[in-house]
Chain A
Amino acid sequence: MSTIVEVKDLRKQYNPPDGVTAVRGVSFAIRQGEIFSLLGPNGAGKSTTISMLSCLLTPTSGDAIIDGHSIRQDPKQVKQVIGVVPQEIALYDTISARENLEFWGKMYGLSGDKLKERVTEVLNIAGLIERANEKVATFSGGMKRRINIAVGLLHNPKVLYMDEPTVGIDPQSRRRILDTVQELNDQGLTVLYTTHYMEEAEELSDRIGIIDHGKLIAVGTQDELTEMIGQYDTVQLDVGESTEANGTLVSHLAGLPGVHQADGEGESVMVQAEDANQVLPRILQTVAEHGRSIRRIEIKEPNLEAVFLHLTGRALRD
């Protein structure tokens, strides 16, 4: 498969020379027809990266080639081939969904019958054809998100950027959006998807880039990434009190035979072990010895969460 997006050492510092450096040398490639996810916590630099790839922000250094066009040299051509779904809903509230789509379609250079046709098609994709003539202001968050996505599809882009498209909506709408992304991808659309939900990245992506503090710390398929950290299980324990007060508990857990690593975060402790079931009794015993009671316990097979934890020492979610 050929490469359609090639990101080369992108960097962005806001308000130089003293501003935040949000992206610190990110490189990756997206192949035609795949869903590539950027997975990272809040403030990791996902939106900044997407903004540079959309030619909204000029990189401080580095470049990216989208379908043969440089974001620095020919932003206009880049904009023709990309569809952008911004993280914040960017629609005009006081006009109808259809009017919004017609307006944005014209901004992409569509007109006449072609425009009408595409508006109807994307309204169908969004599942909102019956409510097309209602003001966007009257829509639920999930419906707005769907129209927000539909705008990005109007001009049949080759690559669709979706920046956290499921944030803050109900599970039903989220399901619908994930299915839509999958369907569009099945029809050949290349997708660059950002999220801080591990489950979404796992479900959708062909390949995943893990981003933290402006750096891409790992790239690969889900299997490749989990193999990186070996086949560890994760035991997550909630121990009523903050673990800052019980650093000894964490270090004792880390020292148990069969335990690979232990980390504390808030009220929970993460223990990575080769076989969770085998070490569980000893974990429980150690916790009891420290006078703590377990509120909740969960065993996870190796996953991206664990990968992130392994690479950064922090949980993906705060």
Chain B
Amino acid sequence: MKILTIAWKDTTIRFRDRNALILMVLAPLVLSAIIGSAFGGFWNGSDPVPFDAIPVLLINQDDGEMGQQFEEILTSDALGDLLAVTVMADETAAREQVQRGEARAAIVIPDGFSEAVSGDVAETAESPALVQFYADPSATVTPNIVRGVVTQIVNGFNSAAISSEVTVAQLTAEAATLGPALADLGTVLQAEMQSRFNEGQPVVISLNDVPVGETEETADISPFAFFAPSMGILFLMFSMMDGTRSILEEEQEGTLSRLISTPTSHLEIILGKIGGVFLTGGLQFVVFVAASALIFQLNWGNSLLGLAMLTLAVVLSLTSLGALIAAFARNASQAGILGTVVTLVFAALGGTFVPAQNFPPFLQELSKITVTRWALDGFTDLTVYGLGAADVVLETAVLFGLSLIFVALALWQFQRRLAK
């Protein structure tokens, strides 16, 4: 009860502070708008998509009609804006090209694809027609787009028009997060499909997704979808540092002593203070998400659950990191300096200003010691790639784990500190 009273007191004080509000909400919005527009204004909705003519290789080993159809769909004009398909014969050479980063993906239509699709070998479930999909695992966005398209076509062959509406709708939703020009992809594909299939087909085709190579590659990332979370996290971190520092400010102002002089335990006081920062951070981030969605039409992904989980984990980890710094800092001004340094180092190392995917490999690994990196990875999964809750479980778990360690250390040190 008293924990909540303290937490709520701090939250009230914080949200009445105009400077704090600017830091918490306005600054990240303005900054992500500026940086986002500098990289290609996304919010007027008519600017060109950065994804056009994605180089894709197609190896058609099927000599039947269905393989031919697959090829035709993939190379159709409808997809021409998006994919630059090169048809070739040598699978090994294709894989090498993907490895070298010359193409983003290679698709192999296997021999016997037509027989499988037409139902001739339908009963032999153990040998389904496997469409192979090779992609560079370090590439981020483009293979996902290609994979989406291929999945779409494969699904079309599998279940024909019956389920294509569903999957097309799904793809449309995903495409919308990638940029306006992709939004009508679903419609195009659906039309293309319906012109070719009339009846349901047995499910015999599956997509075999094979990652290839370790090439470094520049990620193609929608600037605003990346910079909004990145600035949001940066300023969340600033304000969490600011918030936890208030424990030391109260120590200096004498209100902490007064709190201790009331029949309230040290643990309640510390948890109340940390809880207040957590509450503030949660509200701050929710306001930021809502504001960016309303003002800039930023899509925060398709998974409300994922977003909620990740937000909780990020706010908790930044709060506990702030508490840890405050616990070991000598006074508020030292905590302020320390907090700012940690925030900026974590921001740079974690990929706030330049996505971590662009780092050299050792820095990419090193950046994983930062809360920022995990937070950003999680948010870009949601906002840039439109992934779901299951895909941010790892990030969420890591952040919760870190929080646990930070909080335990902070509590231990604060308890020692208050027992004078």
CB contact list, B240-268 vs A, under 8 A: 253-255, 257-265
Partner pick for B259 among A57, A89, A107, CB 8 A cutoff: A107
Q: Are B254 and A92 in contact (CB under 8 A)?
A: no
Q: Are A79 and B261 in contact (CB under 8 A)?
A: yes
Partner pick for B5 among A58, A95, A103, A151, CB 8 A cutoff: A103
Q: Are A103 and B9 in contact (CB under 8 A)?
A: yes
Q: Are A107 and B2 in contact (CB under 8 A)?
A: yes
Docked pose: A86 CA to B253 CA in angstroms: 11
CB of A64, distance to nearest CB on chain B (Å): 14
Q: Are A90 and B253 in contact (CB under 8 A)?
A: yes
Q: Does A91 contact B (CB under 8 A)?
A: yes
Partner pick for A95 among B6, B12, B261, CB 8 A cutoff: B12
Q: Does A104 contact B (CB under 8 A)?
A: yes
Q: Mark B1-43, 1 if CB is under 8 A from A, else 0.
A: 0100110010011001100000000000000000000000000
Q: Are A56 and B260 in contact (CB under 8 A)?
A: yes
Docked pose: A86 CA to B259 CA in angstroms: 11
CB contact list, B212-237 vs A, under 8 A: none
Partner pick for B258 among A84, A95, A109, CB 8 A cutoff: A84
Residues of chain A contacted by B420 (CB below 8 angstroms): 56-58
* Tally of chain B residues near chain A (CB < 8 A): 22
Residues of chain A contacted by B12 (CB below 8 angstroms): 95, 99
What is the chain B residue whose CB lies nearest that of A161? B261
Residues of chain B contacted by A99 (CB below 8 angstroms): 12
Residues of chain A contacted by B294 (CB below 8 angstroms): none
Docked pose: A87 CA to B123 CA in angstroms: 89
Q: Does B93 contact A (CB under 8 A)?
A: no
What is the chain B residue whose CB lies nearest that of A84? B261
Q: Does B419 contact A (CB under 8 A)?
A: yes
Q: Does A175 contact B (CB under 8 A)?
A: no
CB of A155, distance to nearest CB on chain B (Å): 8
Docked pose: A72 CA to B259 CA in angstroms: 18
Interchain Cβ contacts under 8 Å between A and B, 19 examples: A56-B260, A56-B261, A56-B420, A57-B420, A76-B265, A80-B263, A84-B258, A84-B261, A86-B254, A86-B258, A88-B254, A90-B254, A90-B255, A90-B258, A91-B255, A92-B255, A95-B12, A107-B262, A107-B264
- Residues of A near any B CB (own CB < 8 A): 51, 54-58, 76, 79-80, 82, 84, 86, 88-92, 94-95, 99, 103-104, 106-109, 151
Of all A-B residue pairs in the complex, the 6 with the closest CB atoms, nearest first, are: A90-B254, A90-B258, A107-B262, A79-B263, A88-B254, A84-B261
19 new A-B contacts, CB < 8 A, other than A55-B261, A94-B13, are A51-B257, A54-B261, A55-B260, A56-B260, A76-B265, A80-B263, A86-B261, A88-B254, A92-B255, A94-B16, A95-B9, A95-B13, A103-B5, A106-B5, A107-B5, A107-B6, A107-B259, A108-B263, A109-B263
